[in-house]
Amino acid sequence: KNEFQNDPVLQNYVVKLIACSDAIERQIEFTRNYEALGSATASWFDVYRGIFEEAQHLPLEGITVDTGVKGYSIYADPLIGKVYYNLIENSLRHGDHVTKIAFTMNETENGLEILYTDNGVGIQPLEKEKIFLRGYGRNTGLGLFLIREILATTGINITEIGTHGAGAQFEIIVPKGAYRFSES
């Protein structure tokens, strides 16, 4: 055991094996989710509750999360929680110095705008569309691809509209008729 702890070459191999194992696990999870996409019936999901529940599964120590306004429900694929989870996880993984994450909801002429923002490093202008391509990115390149696919099954659109250096900002547009508001 001591030989292993004192051998940086062996330690390096173990670190690489763990990283490979994690990548394989993410690929399997992606495949499972992608296979399930569209197979379940779309339904109404509470946005606030979905964000709150997914945020609880992430290491958010030292990070303020504003989960938005209560009362909005959207008609979406049952995998909608993966959208919130992946957005937050990407901020933690790639945002560099994120301390604030916020979801805001606004009704516009195009439908319900769900705006996701963080105060990290943001997205380079030339990458704003590429980040949604399958395989693009520093990890598996599947998270944002899956997010767009999940949303598209019910006509919801997502784009990155942030300013590099001022944080990431994703605009999700839920079309009219695919969202509702209830005070209760």
What integer pLDDT is reported at residue 9 of this predicted model?
77
pTM to 2 decimal places:
0.77
d(CA 32, CA 28): 6
Tens-digit pLDDT profile for residues 147-182 = 998 999 999 999 999 999 899 999 999 999 999 998
pLDDT of residue 14: 74
Average pLDDT over residues 60-82: 93
Instruction: Determine the average pLDDT of the residues in 33-56.
Output: 81
Cα–Cα distance between 126 and 29 in angstroms, integer?
28
Which DSSP symbol is given to 77?
-
Q: Mean pLDDT over all residues of the chain? A: 84
Residue with tokens 């990283």: 19
Tens digit of each residue's pLDDT (9 = 90 or more) over 20-40: 565 556 555 655 555 555 556
- Which of 4-8, 21-25, 36-40, 108-112 holds the top average pLDDT? 108-112
According to the model, what pLDDT value does residue 2 have?
Answer: 59
Q: How far apart (Å, rounded) are the C-alpha atoms in residues 89 and 82?
A: 10
Interval 116-159: pLDDT, tens: 999 999 999 988 888 888 776 665 555 788 899 899 999 999 99
Q: Which residues pair with 107 in a beta bridge?
A: 112
How much is the pLDDT for 132?
A: 83
